[in-house]
Each structure stands twice: as C-alpha cells, then as structure tokens.
Structure 1
Amino acid sequence: MERQPQDCWDNGYNPMLLRAWNANMDIQYILNPYSCIMYMLSYISKAEREMSDYLKRVIKDLSHDNPSDRECMKQVMNAYSKNREVSAQEAVARTCSLKLKSSSRSVIFIPTDDNAVKMSLPMKYLQTMDEDVENVWMTGFPDKYKARPNRPEFENMCMAEFASEYRIVYGRQKKGKLVLPLQQNMGHIQKITRGKPAVIRFARYSQQKNPEKFYGTLLKLYLPHRRDEQLKSTRFPTYESFYAFASVKLPGTDELQCVFNIVNTNREKYEKHNEAIEQTIEDFEKFSPVEDA
C-alpha cells in the first residue's frame, strides 16, 4: 500500500486488476470469514439516514393537525412506501436506463422442508376437477427432480447437481437443443451450456437445535433418490440415523456404499467453506458484531 503523499486519499487498488475491472476499487485486507461477511453486509445494508429524517419531518408536520392515530400511521405508511433514498449513481443509472446489476451465475432456491409451502392449481383447473381428487397442488422442484428422465446420466445425480446444471423450460423453449422431457408429464428440462452452473440456495437448520431437519436437508440435496421412502427405512426411521448408519446401492453398482460418504462427497462440491461460515454465524450470535472487523 506504499504510495506518494499526494495519493494519500486514494482507495486501495491493484493496477492490473483496475485495468480489467475498469471501475472504482476499495480493497480491504481481511483475515477471516467473519471479516469478509461483515465487509460485504456493511455495503448492502447501509443506513438510509435521509429516509429517517424525511419520516421525522412527516410526523412533525402531522403533529400540527392533531390527526388520529389511524390517520397518522396511514400518512407515515404512505410516506415510507412511496419514497426511498437513492444515491446519485443509482439515479443516473435509472434515468439513463442502464443495467443496475449483472451476474455470471443464476441462483435457484431448493425447498427441502417436509411441509414446504405449495401453490394450488389455477382456479380454472380446480373448477373442472372431480370432488374426490385430493392432489390440488402444483408440482415443485423436488417433484420434478424425482421425475427426472430415466437415463443413465440421471440415475446417480443428486438434487443439488440437478438444480445446478439443468433448468426448467417452458413454451417455445421446449423446442430448443438438449431439451429432455420429465416423467409423469411434469415438464421439460434443458442442460445449462452457457456460462457456469447455477448457485443453489436452501434453508439452513442448526445441527444441534433441529437435527432432523438438518440431516433431512442433507439427504434430500445430496443423496440420489426418486422417492422420499429412499431417505428413511424401517431400520433407520429418522434422517439422522439413516445418514449415520445406513448403506445403499446406487444404480449401476453392486457394492453397498455408506450414505454419509455419498452425501459428504456431493456436499463438498456445493458448500465451500461451510464449516467456517457456520462458525462465523455462531460467533456472531454469541458475541454480537465486532465493529472493527
């Protein structure tokens, strides 16, 4: 970081990276995952002081008219919902219709809860269905994974890999290249060939507080299966016991493999630095944020 005295107010930068990035740089030296997360979150959660001042002025102006509590809350709600503090850069970008963000990766959320939120079928379908039909829900991503094509490359594919490397296609996209139909008429998928595989997101549970949900998430994401019954058994009735002690034969193999070995091997591909990040979260909850991190 050595520099000339006249450059003392310049942000830290790297000359070679600056030519490639061609935008502002403000490099900070960090030593651990906590500092990295703290640095990133401090940027995306900056306090909007101007908005707070604006709401204070609205409340102050209302005090002269002596409105009811209901009317006061209504005015504050309108002020909050219709106004937002923006930077000069964002104002210019919106005025000139410039792209506000760009990403090299798409992101997909995978529901893993046993009682995940579901959407019902559209009303036009419900009105034409028989009264005895109980399945009135739209299919979710786990359903589409279980109905993946009956082909060799899909047999030993876990749901994390399926979500990361394939996307659901609709309408005219179904006529594109590398499009495959799902079983049970659940739609079509297409392998991602442009760019990198998608980043997966999912609900995280504490191994100590919610062990069943924690191990259930691991099994659903990283153990190849086509039915929920393949994630438990009469001998191992819980997700935790099945993960720890069960062995299975994957399609195309005659050898029994430990479930935890299969899960951990697949997990390493999608959860980088997972233990360090979880430890960081625990430290944050126990000791509160370290302001000088």
Structure 2
Amino acid sequence: MKNLVNDYNPLLLSIWQSNIDVQYIGEDSMILTRYVTSYQTKAEKNEAEGVWDNLDEKRSKYGRFKSAGLQLIGKRDIGAYECADRLLGHHLFGASDQVIWVGADIPSKRGHRLKSKEYLEKLPESSTNIFHENMVENYYPNRPSSLEKVSLYEVASNYEKISVKPSDYEEAKKMKMINDKGYFKQVKEKVVKAPYVPLNKETKERYFHNLLMLFKPWRKEEDDLLNGFTTYEEAFKYFSSE
C-alpha cells in the first residue's frame, strides 16, 4: 500500500497534521526556480478566451470596457474551499501587520479597482465613474491642511479615509479633507507596498517619479513633482539634497 501514499516527512506531518506531499530535489539549474516561481504566480483559471473578440464595436470604449469587466467577473473559476469560505463569511487571508497598496506609479502604469458588478450595471453606458476612489488620486491630493507637509508614504502608513464625521469637533476640523472627500483618521501604522521599478536606463525616469511621489509632499502630481525641472531625476536629486 505504500505506493498509494504521498511522499512525506514524519516531523512535518506531526507539525502540520494534514496532508502533505514533499519530495527532495537536488539540482543546480534554474529549472526548479522557474517551476516554483511560475507555480506561485500563476493566474487564476477562467473562461476569458473570446471575451475581447465578442465585444460590440458600436459601443463606446467605456461601454465595451464595462461589458468586458462584467463578463470576466462572471467567468472566474473558484475552488470548493474558497466557495465554502465565502458562503460562511470566513476571511480568505490574514496577517499580523496590515498592508496597504499604494499605486505610486506613472498614470499609464497605474491600476484601478472596478466598482461592483451591481453598481456598474446601473450606470449609463457613457459614464466613466467605474473605478473606486483611491489614496493616490483622490484622498492624498485632498488631504487636510494639517497634513500639508506630510508625504504620501506617511499618510498611507498612518491614516485611513473615513466617511463618518468624527464626534470630536476639533478632530473633525483638523482631519476634514478638502472638496468634501471625507475625513482622515489616524490608525496603527501599516506596511506600505508600492510598485517595484528597477533603476536602469529604460526605467530611470519612472523610478525617480515614484520616489518623488512617495516621499515628497505634493498636491498636483503633474506640477509639484517636477517643480520646474525637466526630468524627475533632476527633481529628485534637488529634493533629496534639501
């Protein structure tokens, strides 16, 4: 019957107390590295083939994009465990430290989170209001004047946006964002994750743009980051020398 049993390690089995399947592999090429990396980063299974080809060309680009998004959401495959967890209201992941993603990248490389399927279905076809507001484009540029000299990194790490007005009058006055965007509330420090861009000849400007965006206080991205300089590299070197 041993040929029907997965490879296992007795110590790991006693600690994990669940099914394991381990095998020692000794090799010094990149094959194992590529396999593990591709396995960890593989995309979810879906039936998205043909979605883009079947879009109505007569609709506006926003209408086609919304249609594609709704179809992709409906074609996503999930496993039985995830389905059960979602139905039971279980958290799909957890961590001791809270992590926040800050898309501090150039606009053409910046991702956005679509609003819910139910919300999108009610929008008129010409509407462009399809994305959730975010820290980079909506909240930080409209931060309270009390945080004028605080960088995007510090605000994202130590504050979060709330819609309900704080009960304390002074706190509400101090933390109210401009343009009726809501309020900021100070929270336990979070770990900030931002896009990784290598420093090389091709991505140099993008690299320095992202550093400026994270660590130099700004209101208008297109004006305040360059601050009169012609390149982001020059602007960063001047900023870091102050």
TM-score, normalised via structure 2 length: 0.52
- Give structure 2 stretches of 5+ with no counterpart: 55-71, 113-132
Alignment of 1:280-291 (within 5 A): none
Alignment of 1:113-152 (within 5 A): 113=106, 141-142=136-137, 144-151=139-146
Distance in 1 between residues matched to 2:101 and 2:44, nearest whole Å: 29
* TM-fit CA distance, 1:93: 4.0
Q: Among all aligned residue pairs of Structure 1 and Structure 2, give the percentage whose two residues are the same amino acid.
A: 17
Higher helix share: 1
CA offsets, 1:124-159, max 9 Å, x none? xxxxxxxxxxxxxx89634532443333xx455321
Distance in 2 between residues matched to 1:242 and 1:81, nearest whole Å: 42
Distance in 2 between residues matched to 1:186 and 1:164, nearest whole Å: 19
Number of aligned residues: 189
Question: Cα distance 1:214–1:15, how it changes in 2: closer, same or farther (>3 A)?
Answer: same
Match of 2:101 among 108, 113, 124: 108
Distance in 1 between residues matched to 2:217 and 2:226, nearest whole Å: 13
Q: Is the 8 A contact 2:105 2:210 kept in 1?
A: yes
2:206 corresponding residue in structure 1: 213
1:159 corresponding residue in structure 2: 152
* TM-fit CA distance, 1:47: 8.3
Query: Which structure: larger Rg?
Result: 1
Alignment of 1:161-240 (within 5 A): 161-171=154-164, 174-175=166-167, 180-193=175-188, 197-202=190-195, 204=197, 207-228=200-221, 229-234=223-228, 236-240=229-233
Q: Is the 8 A contact 1:164 1:200 kept in 2?
A: no
Question: Cα distance 1:44–1:243, how it changes in 2: closer, same or farther (>3 A)?
Answer: closer
Question: Cα distance 1:162–1:36, how it changes in 2: closer, same or farther (>3 A)?
Answer: farther
- Give structure 1 stretches of 5+ with no counterpart: 1-6, 56-69, 71-79, 119-137, 249-256, 260-293
CA offsets, 1:159-178, max 9 Å, x none? 12211221111146x54896
Distance in 2 between residues matched to 1:205 and 1:110, nearest whole Å: 16
Q: Is the 8 A contact 1:205 1:213 kept in 2?
A: no
Q: Is the 8 A contact 1:12 1:26 kept in 2?
A: no
Question: Cα distance 1:211–1:89, how it changes in 2: closer, same or farther (>3 A)?
Answer: same
What RMSD over aligned residues (CA atoms) do the two structures have, in Å?
A: 5.1
For residue 93 of structure 2, what is the amino acid of its counterpart?
A: S
* TM-fit CA distance, 1:199: 3.6
1:42 corresponding residue in structure 2: 39
- Describe the SS at the equivalent of 2:184: strand
Question: Cα distance 1:230–1:91, how it changes in 2: closer, same or farther (>3 A)?
Answer: closer
1:258 corresponding residue in structure 2: 241
Question: Cα distance 1:167–1:23, how it changes in 2: closer, same or farther (>3 A)?
Answer: farther
